[in-house]
Amino acid sequence: MDGSLQSFFASASQVGLGVAVFLALLTLLAWIRNWPWKFSLVGYTAFTLVLTAGCFALSLGPIFRSRIPGAAPYTTVYDQGAERAVIAVSPDITPEQLILTLKQAASDLASSGRFSTGSPVFTLQARTVIHPEPGVSEPLLLGTLQQPLGKRLRTPEEQQQQQIHLEEEAFARLRRLAQVQEAAPPSEGTLQEPPLAQS
């Protein structure tokens, strides 16, 4: 959610709470004095409380997720709502795309509702699956993003708290697999690792 919208809903919830308290006191007075429209005041008060609760909830989380241009599609494969999550990406992703994808996933998955089991850092890992030989699948870690747990880093200044580490050896391995696939595409269309050179 945009920061101005979040501030708007936070202010609206405070105003709504004040109006609800005023209506509640007026409703109490109406019941004491047995005014004929006391039941209407009950409805007005309840409706105001519902609106206030809605504005407060909208001030805590995003309505729309922000999109980062250049981020590649990903799938969340592990997430228990704590300080660690894992996403899966395509094996043909580039390092530049992975950085943007990690930032996009962190924006989507990080929230104030995450709980800690001992670490104050939210760790997001990106991996892919390769096939070093026919019939064998192997997960390959490509990169890791870390940021403070329980925070949504929206502004560029806040995002400077993110630390991103790419696995250079993993990308080198993907390039070798891609070269082999281009030279002799396997029948199943999967990336297979070249044989080791004999010493």
What gap in Å lies between CA 197 and CA 71, rounded to an integer? 36
- Comparing 163 with 153, which gets the higher pLDDT? 163
State the pLDDT at residue 129. Answer: 93
Mean pLDDT of the 193-199 span: 46
pLDDT single digits (tens) 8-30: 877 888 898 999 999 999 999 99
pLDDT single digits (tens) 46-69: 999 999 998 888 776 655 567 889
**Res. 107: pLDDT tops 90:** no
Q: Cβ-count burial of 67 within 10 angstroms (0-12 exposed, 13-18 middle, 19+ buried)?
A: exposed
Domain boundaries, the chain: 3-60, 75-183
pLDDT single digits (tens) 112-152: 667 777 778 899 999 999 988 888 889 999 999 999 887 76
State the pLDDT at residue 191. Answer: 53
Which tokens hold the place of 7?
């501030």
State the pLDDT at residue 197. Answer: 46
Poorest-confidence range of 31-35, 85-89, 132-136?
Answer: 132-136
What gap in Å lies between CA 190 and CA 194, rounded to an integer? 12
Radius of gyration of the chain (CA): 26
Q: How far is CA 109 from CA 61, 79, 101, in A?
A: 12, 9, 12
Q: How far is CA 89 from CA 111, 128, 173, 188, in A?
A: 22, 5, 15, 19
State the pLDDT at residue 75. Answer: 95
Which runs of consecutive H residues, i.e. helices, occur in the chain? 3-33, 38-60, 95-109, 156-159, 168-183
